[in-house]
Amino acid sequence: MIYNMEFETLPREALEAIQLRRLKQTVERVYATVPFYRKQFDKVGVKPDDIKSLDDLRRLPFTTKQDLRDNYPFGLFAVPMENVVRIHASSGTTGKPTVVGYTARDIQTWAELMARALSAAGATRGDIIHNAYGYGLFTGGLGVHYGAEKLGASVIPISGGNTKRQIMIMKDFGATVLTCTPSYALHLSEVAMEMGVDPKTLKLKVGVFGAEPWSEKMREEIEQKLYLTAIDIYGLSEIIGPGVSVECIEAKKGLHIFEDHFIPEIIDPETGENLKPGEVGELVITTITKEAFPVIRYRTRDITFLNPEPCICGRTHTRMGRVMGRSDDMLIIRGVNVFPSQIESVLMEIDEVEPHYQLIVDREGSLDILTVLVEVGEHAFSDEVRKLQELERKIEKNIKEYLGISAKVKLVEPKTIARSEGKAQRVIDKRKI
């Protein structure tokens, strides 16, 4: 089902005309209202008037997550705070989070995009949507929520956690659509089985899963275990939240990027050069309708490719491939962004341990498992097992407190963490995605 027939099926030429008009407006606006962008554009000598075609976008500089951090919290807002009705932030728990703002119209835009996304996944106003994305500063919960309401479906704002209760509610309320991270979907299926609730007896028909990398193999597993069709959704708070792109249920092959609101590019992450359709590189997005927090050529760090081929669903918007990984060292663990440097900060605050550590990420069954290896120096060492175990618990507790994720801490002997070229390899990702 196509929610917005007019805009989602625009002929390419008309779509590009709209994109150019909106791009010009956005560039003019950020140049006038955001000192950061004015400075950036001046640095490369491009004035808003120089944007005459969509190709001219390439003349503008990239915006990075670091730029967002440097302008923390509201430095990149393009409207006065009195026009900002909502603030979200990404999980930059020990460093500075990236903060994004929305005007009332931005919220409407976002709701529209999420309504489109849910429709593309096959949801209708007759559905009961069990929304197990986290509500709060994280964009997942509220993004889906507003979209579901806009669509006219019934939303169960269950948020994350308390899995047994979720199963009971899903069963009793007769949820037909499930929205959560893919790993949580699998966890739900396992807990349901443990509770003696066969997922077959639930009314679920569709799941809309995102916020972490997942694979075709995982899709098959979820579909078999939960008896539903699993749809991939993509988004990030810096752009708007969930609903930047979504798979259509007709093809389930690539995620349509809502191009009347976002202009996607793929670049070589090393050189910054633009790549051709089909070539794998880093996704860069420019927002062209956002009011409070527009971003120009934002480097998402997500690795994918673009596919402009027409789709059987009738949407003309280009598709992106499933996200294959990250161009930087950011890990997404159970939907939470984790940088090795955050673990480092946690360790640095504990006197007894050395800052030599390694993160091992693996997937056991359906859940991401993070193991943190920490070298034990003489300073931390004790001849009593209990004291070393207490140290492990302490580090685990601090990681949980600062980053919000559970990790297993394992003390290891000094120098056991391989140092290549003098620098330690901080992350070993064993997940097969």
Partner 1 sequence: MKVEQISIFLENKAGRLAEVTKVLASAGINIRALSLADTSDFGILRLIVNDTELAKKVLKENGFTVGKTQVVAVEVEDRPGGLNKILDILRAANINVEYMYAFVQQSGNNAVIIFRFDNTDEAIKTLLENGVKVIEGERLYAM
Distances (CA, A) of 135 to 160, 177, 430: 8, 17, 30
Between residues 163 and 406, which has the closer beta carbon with respect to partner 1?
406
Of 193, 414, 418, 428, which one interacts with partner 1 (CB under 8 A)? Answer: 414
Between residues 47 and 387, which has the closer beta carbon with respect to partner 1?
387
Would you tell me the crossing angle of helices 182-194 and 216-226 to the nearest 10 degrees?
30
Beta bridge partners of 325: 303
Q: Please, which of residues 51-110 interact with partner 1 by CB under 8 A?
A: none
Applying CB under 8 A, which part among 121-129, 219-227, 343-351, 408-416 lies near partner 1? Answer: 408-416
What's the closest the beta carbon of residue 380 comes to partner 1, in angstroms? 8
What's the closest the beta carbon of residue 362 comes to partner 1, in angstroms? 16
Of 273, 416, 425, 430, which one interacts with partner 1 (CB under 8 A)? Answer: 416
Please, which residues have CB within 8 angstroms of residue 155's CB and are 6 or more apart in sequence? 129, 131, 144, 145, 148, 149
User: Mind giving me the DSSP string for 228-249?
Assistant: SEEEEEEEETTTTEEEEEEE-T
Distances (CA, A) of 212 to 110, 148, 242, 331, 337: 20, 21, 11, 9, 9
Nearest to 76 by CA among 301, 299, 295: 295
What's the closest the beta carbon of residue 4 comes to partner 1, in angstroms? 55
The H or E element containing residue 345 is helix 340-348
Between residues 158 and 409, which has the closer beta carbon with respect to partner 1?
409
E strand map for 225-356:
229-236, 241-247, 255-257, 262-267, 281-287, 298-304, 306-307, 319-320, 325-326, 331-333, 336-338
d(CA 241, CA 135): 12
Q: Please, which of residues 341-400 interact with partner 1 by CB under 8 A?
A: 376-378, 381-385, 388-389, 392
What's the closest the beta carbon of residue 10 comes to partner 1, in angstroms? 58
Q: Which of left, alpha, beta for 126 (phi over 0: left; psi -120 to 50: alpha)?
A: alpha
Whether the CB-CB separation of 102 and 89 falls below 8 Å is answered with no
What's the closest the beta carbon of residue 403 comes to partner 1, in angstroms? 21
Q: How many CB atoms are located within 10 Å of the residue 400 CB? A: 13
Tokens linked to 212:
């972490």
What's the closest the beta carbon of residue 261 comes to partner 1, in angstroms? 50
Of 400, 410, 419, 430, which one interacts with partner 1 (CB under 8 A)? Answer: 410
d(CA 217, CA 418): 32
Between residues 18 and 380, which has the closer beta carbon with respect to partner 1?
380
Tokens linked to 80:
């006065």
Between residues 82 and 413, which has the closer beta carbon with respect to partner 1?
413
Whether the CB-CB separation of 107 and 133 falls below 8 Å is answered with no
Of 412, 424, 427, 433, which one interacts with partner 1 (CB under 8 A)? Answer: 412
Between residues 330 and 391, which has the closer beta carbon with respect to partner 1?
391
What's the closest the beta carbon of residue 320 comes to partner 1, in angstroms? 42
What's the closest the beta carbon of residue 375 comes to partner 1, in angstroms? 9
Q: How many residues bind partner 1 (CB under 8 A)?
A: 18
What's the closest the beta carbon of residue 430 comes to partner 1, in angstroms? 18
Applying CB under 8 A, which part among 48-56, 110-118, 189-197, 413-421 lies near partner 1? Answer: 413-421
**312: contact with partner 1 by CB under 8 A:** no
Which of helix, strand or coil describes residue 156? strand
d(CA 209, CA 143): 13
Between residues 275 and 412, which has the closer beta carbon with respect to partner 1?
412
What's the closest the beta carbon of residue 426 comes to partner 1, in angstroms? 19
**415: contact with partner 1 by CB under 8 A:** yes
Q: Please, which of residues 127-166 interact with partner 1 by CB under 8 A?
A: none
Which of helix, strand or coil describes residue 303? strand
What's the closest the beta carbon of residue 410 comes to partner 1, in angstroms? 5
**What is the helix, strand, coil percentage profile of the chain, to 5?**
35, 25, 40
Between residues 200 and 393, which has the closer beta carbon with respect to partner 1?
393
**413: contact with partner 1 by CB under 8 A:** yes
Between residues 152 and 414, which has the closer beta carbon with respect to partner 1?
414
Between residues 146 and 357, which has the closer beta carbon with respect to partner 1?
357
User: Mind giving me the DSSP string for 78-146?
Assistant: SS-GGG--EEEE----SSPPPEEEE-HHHHHHHHHHHHHHHHHTT--TT-EEEE-SPPSSSHHHHHHHH
Between residues 14 and 380, which has the closer beta carbon with respect to partner 1?
380
Residues of this chain that interact with partner 1 (CB under 8 A) are 376-378, 381-385, 388-389, 392, 410-416
